Amino acid sequence: MDISALSESYPIASIFVKGFALILVAIIASWIFRALLVAVLPGEGAKVMRTAPLTAAFGIMIILLYAIAGIFAPWIAPYSESEVISSAFAPADENMWLGADQLGRDLYSRVIFGARNSVGIALIATSLAFFIGAMTGLIAATKGGWIDQAMARSADVIMSIPSLIFSLLLLSIFGTSMIVLILIIAVIYAPRVFRLTRAVAGDVVVMDYIEAARLRGEGLWYLIRKEILPNSKAPLIAEFGLEFCFVFLLIAGLSFLGLGIQPPTADWGSMVRENATLISFGEVTPLIPAAAISLLTVAVNFVVDWMLYRSSGLKE
C-alpha cells in the first residue's frame, strides 16, 4: 500500500507518517550538515561543531538557508515580488508551485523576497537596539552612581509601556517608512538589552582586574572595550538571538495589522493577512509565510540554547 492509498483510507495516520518522515529528513539533513561543517571548518571551529547537538546543527542550517534566500533573492526567485502574472488566488501549477496570492503574484517568489525584507529589517533593527542598549548598559555599569540611576529609570519608563501599543502609537505619529520602523523597534528593544548588559557588566566591574585597570588610570572607553565587553559577550550574543525572534515577531505583527512593511514589498506578516481569506476555503497557502516565521524562530532558539549551554559551562 503506497502513501497516497494510505492517506485516502486513513487520513490521520497519513499526517503522522508525513510528519514522521519530515522529522526524519530534518534529522538526516542536520546530521549531514554537521559532518560537512566539521570537515570544512578549520581547527577550533571543527572541534566546536563536533560536540554540537543535532538541534544546533539544524538551527545553523536553517539560518544559513534563510540567509542565502535573503541575499540571493532576485536570482533564486523566478518572478519579482510585485509582478502580477496570473489571476488572483490561482492554484499551483508548473510555473508557480505555491500558487498565486490575492493579486495574482507568485507566492513562492514573494516568500523568497520576504526572507530578505522581514529578516533584513529585523536584523538591522535588532543590531541597532543592541548597539544602543549594550553601550548605555556598559556605561551605566562602569560609571555607576546617578548616571546609572538616571539611565536605568529611563529604561524602566520605556519598558512600562506595552511594546505593540507603543509601536502602533509611534508609527501613527511618524508615519510608516522603513527607517521610522527600524528606529522605533530599536528604541523599544534597547531598554531590554540595556537591562541585561547592565546586570552582566555589573558582575564584571566588581572584579579585581577592573579595579587594577581603574587604578592604572585607564579611561572609560578602554575599560568598556578591553576589560568588560570580552567578559560579557556570551550572554549578550545569546540574548541577541532571542531578541531577534521577538523583533521579528513584532514586525510580522505590525505588518499583519497593516502598519509594518508597506505593500508591494513582500513581507511574511502582511502575506499572512492578505491571504487569510483562503483559510476558510481549506487552503494552506496563508500558513506558508507563517511557517517560514515559526521555522526561523525555532532555528534561532535552537542555536541560542546551544550557545547558552556552552557559555554556562554546564556539563550534564
Partner 1 sequence: MSTENENDLLLKIRDLKIEGYSDEEWVGIVHGIDLDLHRGEVLGLIGESGAGKSTIGLAAMGFTRDGCRISGGSVQFDGMELTSKPKSELRKLRGSRIAYVAQSAAASFNPAHKLIDQHTESPVHYNIKSLSESQADAMELYEKLRLPNPKEIGFRYPHQVSGGQLQRAMTAMAMACRPDLIIFDEPTTALDVTTQIEVLAAIRDIVEQFNTAAIYITHDLAVVAQMADRIKVLLKGNEVEEADTATMLSAPKEDYTKSLWAVRSFRRPEKQRPTADSGEIPVVSVDGIDAAYGKGLKVLDDVSFDIYAGMTVAVVGESGSGKSTTARCITGLLPPSKGVIRFNGEELPPSYKKRTTDQLRQAQMIYQMADTALNPRIKICDIIGRPAQFYSGLDGAKLKTRVEELLDLIELEPAQYYNRYPPELSGGQKQRIGIARALAAEPSFIICDEVTSALDQLVAEGILRLLDRLQNTLGLAYMFITHDLATVRSIADEVVVMKEGRVVEQGPKTEMFTPPHHAYTDLLLSSVPEMDPDWLTQLLEQRGVDNIGEAAGN
Neighbours of 266 (CB within 10 A): 27
Nearest alpha carbon to residue 307 among 32, 48, 61, 28 = 48
Nearest alpha carbon to residue 60 among 71, 44, 48 = 48
Nearer to partner 1, 93 or 211 (CB): 211
Which segment (45-53, 79-87, 167-175, 304-312) binds partner 1 by CB under 8 A?
A: 45-53
Neighbours of 129 (CB within 10 A): 27
3-class state of residue 84 by DSSP: strand
Write each residue from 178 to 217 as x if it is in contact with partner 1 (CB under 8 A), else as -, in one continuous string: -----------------------------xxx-xx-xxxx
Cell of 238: 545569546
Residue 226 found at the interface with partner 1 (CB under 8 A): yes
Residue 156 found at the interface with partner 1 (CB under 8 A): no
Question: What is the rounded distance in angstroms from the CA atom of residue 83 to the CA atom of residue 56?
Answer: 37
In the complex, the smallest distance separating the C-beta of residue 53 from partner 1, rounded to whole angstroms, is: 15
Nearer to partner 1, 111 or 223 (CB): 223
In the complex, the smallest distance separating the C-beta of residue 210 from partner 1, rounded to whole angstroms, is: 8
Residue 43 found at the interface with partner 1 (CB under 8 A): no
The binder of partner 1 chosen from 227, 243, 267, 274 (CB under 8 A): 227
Write each residue from 277 to 316 as x if it is in contact with partner 1 (CB under 8 A), else as -, in one continuous string: -------------------------------------xxx
CB 182 within 8 A of CB 254: no
CB 127 within 8 A of CB 185: no
Residue 51 found at the interface with partner 1 (CB under 8 A): yes
Cell of 126: 535588532
Q: Please report the sign of the dihedral spanned by the C-alpha atoms of residue 207, residue 210, residue 214, residue 217.
A: positive
Binding site for partner 1 (CB under 8 A): 47, 50-51, 207-209, 211-212, 214-218, 226-227, 230-231, 314-316
